Amino acid sequence: MKRRLKAGEVLLGAFNNLHSPAVLEILGLVGLDFVIVDAEHTSVSPETAENLYRAAELRELSVVTRIGENSQQVIQKFMDAGSPGVLIPLVNTVEEGQRVVDAVKYPPVGKRGLAGTRSAEWGLTSIPADYVIESNLETLVAIQIETKEGIKNFDEIVKLDDVDVIFFGPSDISTSLGYPGELRHPEVLSIIEKLGAKSISAGKSVGTIARDRVEIQYWKDRGFQWLCTGVSGFLTHGIRSYISDS
């Protein structure tokens, strides 16, 4: 996924709030570019997520995990279980952004603790030094901007090294600005577009929610590369289409 983003490709994905590994297998088989295992707004634990990662690996589906707590110990449990990257919400300061990098990357880049875990293939296939180098190169760091504080501090946040993707959460941005649920309010769109342009100028890939073809094209035209919707939305749309066509 990191190589494809750096090559300028637009990737389409989905937040997954379902606990079934079969769902991730299906997403991979039908050609989705990536999936975000949602451990912020669901009850997904590292143990549950581990089986979701296995399913994604089986079908060559890129995966990251949205983790609701910006804590090294919490993030590390998902990383050790096999998550190739993270999306951390509510990053409001440069210090909070650096904390994400520190939790994902091993020294000398970050502060992640090293052990013979699943992510390291239990130390059975490579020496620790080689694994650390590969992990620091391959793991993806995405941070989510969605509050007035994050917007205010954005010019410093965007300068963070080792952050690959900056994701703008329109639901929380709209709520923060006093327009809850108005994801396409002119002020919401203006802020996402303005900060997205700054992110691209800083060498970051940029993401947001795009629920249909019109929204996908809208954000593609503005240089956004990491676009997603929700797996439950796929299910809902399919059922409603089936009912309405019958």
- CA–CA separation, 59 vs 123, rounded Å? 24
Q: Are 206 and 212 in contact (CB under 8 A)?
A: no
Residues in the chain: 246
Just list the catalytic residues.
41
